[in-house]
Amino acid sequence: MPPIILTRRTETVTPQHQMKQRTYSGSRWEKQAAYSRAIRSGTVIAVSGTTAVDENGNVVGGDVYHQATFVLQKIRRALRELGADLDDVIRTRTFLTDMSELDGFAQAHRETFGGIDPAATCVEVSKLVDDRLLIEIEVDAVLA
């Protein structure tokens, strides 16, 4: 059997590779807590926890399905602003205030990610930043 030869590749990291791009949705919480809607570093994009709040601060949708659909479109806009799209998503994390509403979330997730099938986590939390918010979703994406 021939020996296995391992090689190590060294790359020089230039400032261009260290550059980060950010996008903001305009939510009041972004300024209040000093965070961006999404950030891209190289080929990796992380989208912050996103809720069904529009650019005017209004909660959108009265049930989990409609809030999730709105949130996923908001996430898609953030991804596109950073040069990605939903098919680049490799992981979703979802926070529901009531796990009995899982079916509404699952329907919206399936409609959005069917065929992409990212790794996914869904947990129940006792409360989000506003009592009218029923769901929060964050995603990670990698550009090929």
Q: Note the pLDDT tens digit of each residue in 96-110.
A: 999 999 999 999 999
d(C-alpha 97, C-alpha 123), whole Å: 9
What residue spans of the chain are helical by DSSP H? 15-18, 28-33, 64-81, 102-113
52 pLDDT band (50/70/90 cuts)? Answer: very high
* 92 pLDDT more than 80: yes
* DSSP assigned state of 13: P
Q: What is the pTM of this model?
A: 0.85
Would you say 65 and 53 are in contact if contact means Cβ atoms under 8 Å apart? no
CATH superfamily to which 15-142 belongs = RutC-like (3.30.1330.40)
pLDDT band per the 50, 70, 90 thresholds, residue 144: confident
Radius of gyration over alpha carbons of the chain, in Å?
18
Instruction: Give domain limits for the chain.
Output: 15-142
